[in-house]
Every structure is written in C-alpha cells, then in structure tokens.
Amino acid sequence: MKIFLVSALLGISSCLLAQDKTPPGTPGEIKNSLIQIEREIGRANLDCDYRYFDRVEAEEFIFTDSAGSVTDKKQDLAGEKDCHKSDGTYEVDETDVHLYGATAVVTGRVTTTRKNKEDKLVVRRSRFTDVFVWRDKRWQLVAGHSSRIPDPALQK
C-alpha cells in the first residue's frame, strides 16, 4: 500500500511539473495566443509601454536589427525611456508559428504607419522572427530579429 501511495504521489507531482513546462491549449489556441502577443508588442511599441516589454522579454533576451546591431533586454528597456508615443498603426500579418514543445518560433510581416515631422504619412514594412519559450506559466521572448522590406517605389 505504501509503495502504491508513493507511486501515485510521484506520478501526480511529475504531471504537475510537466503542466508548468508545457503551454496549455490546443496547437491552434497556442498559435493564436502567440500571434496576439505579437500584436501586443506592436501596441506596446506605439504606446512606449516599458512595463510590457519588461514582462514579455526574458532576462536573456537578444534582438538583432536589420543593420546587424544587437541589443539585450537592458538596452532595449533603456531605449523605451526615450520613446515618444505615436498615434500610428502597427499591423501584423503573414504570420506563421512553429511549435517545438515549450519553444515557439513566430515569423511574420509588420506594417507600421506614422506621420513624420512634416505631417507626411510614412509606411514601413519589415519581416520578423521571434523565438519564445514557455516559462513560469507564460510565453517569454528570448530572441528576435527584424529586417526592413525595401519600398519598391524607392528602388526604381
């Protein structure tokens, strides 16, 4: 009887530990929640929401921009302090999510619109790749990369 009780307790505890390390939901629900995080990242960029980035970025977060510059979480959060809120838009589309257990790779396209100092509308498009890990019962962004899509009108 004692062996059965110990075995049952070990089984329950390992299930509970596994639940914390595995994102809940169906693959479709998980993918939708990650795409929603990408949209929230856009909103946080426009709103200069320092707290959001502090929460979603893992401590080891690293970002590579299209010029090859690399920043870590501390540098990224420091840049938010100089941010100016924008009434522009940030649209995420052409997304794809690949799940690898407690890791996810999200790719997509972002289109931003903002007015410049001359009050002219500026539209920019870029492609991104973000890597998330499921940790502490939430998705944390551990790495990101963004590359600007050249404006075809400027290439002629």
What confidence tens digit (pLDDT) does each residue in 65-89 have? 999 999 999 998 987 777 888 888 9
What is the rounded CA–CA span in Å between residue 141 and residue 86? 23
Task: Note the Cα 57 to chain centre separation in Å.
Answer: 8
The predicted structure's pLDDT at residue 156: 57
pTM for the model stands at 0.82
CATH 3.40.50.720 fits 23-150, yes or no: no
What is the pLDDT of the chain when averaged over all its residues? 86
Residue 41 tokens, joined: 């990242």
Contact 127, 109 (CB under 8 A): yes
What is the rounded CA–CA span in Å between residue 99 and residue 107? 12
Quick check: 63 pLDDT over 60? yes
| Better-predicted residue by pLDDT, 24 or 84 | 24
- Per domain, the residue ranges of the chain are 23-150
Which helix (H) or strand (E) covers residue 119, if one does? none
Question: Average pLDDT for residues 47-57, to the nearest whole number?
Answer: 94
The predicted structure's pLDDT at residue 17: 40
